[in-house]
Copies of this chain bind each other. A is one copy, B any other.
Amino acid sequence: MPQPSAPRKTPGRPPRISREEVIATARRIVDAEGVDRLTMRRLATEIGSTPMALYHHVRNKEELLVLLLDDYAARALHRPELPAQPRERIVAAAAAIHEALAACPWIAEVLTADDLMSTSALWFVEQILDGLVESGLTPERAVHGYRTIWYYTAGEIVVRTTAARRRADDDGPTYRERVFADLDPNELPRLAQVADRWAPLTAENTYLDGLRALIDGLLAAH
Contact = CB atoms under 8 A, between A and B. Distances in A.
A105 to B, nearest CB: 14
A140 to B, nearest CB: 6
Given A114-B162, A125-B191, A162-B114, A213 B206 contact: no
At the interface, is chain A mostly helix, strand, loop or mixed? helix
A155 B151 contact: yes
Interface string A180-222: 0001000111110110011001101010011011111110110
Given A176-B115, A216-B220, A210 B144 contact: yes
A206 B214 CA distance: 14
Given A112-B108, A115-B176, A213-B214, A194 B151 contact: no
Interface in A156-194: 156, 158-159, 161-163, 166, 175-176, 179, 183, 187-191, 193-194
A129 B197 CA distance: 14
Contacts of A139: 190, 193-194
A221 B212 contact: yes
Interface in A94-152: 108, 112-115, 117, 119, 122-123, 125-126, 129-130, 133, 139-140, 142-145, 147-148, 150-152
Interface of A: 66, 108, 112-115, 117, 119, 122-123, 125-126, 129-130, 133, 139-140, 142-145, 147-148, 150-156, 158-159, 161-163, 166, 175-176, 179, 183, 187-191, 193-194, 197-198, 201-202, 204, 206, 209-210, 212-218, 220-221
Given A148-B206, A216-B217, 6 more contacts: A112-B159, A114-B202, A130-B190, A143-B202, A151-B159, A213-B220
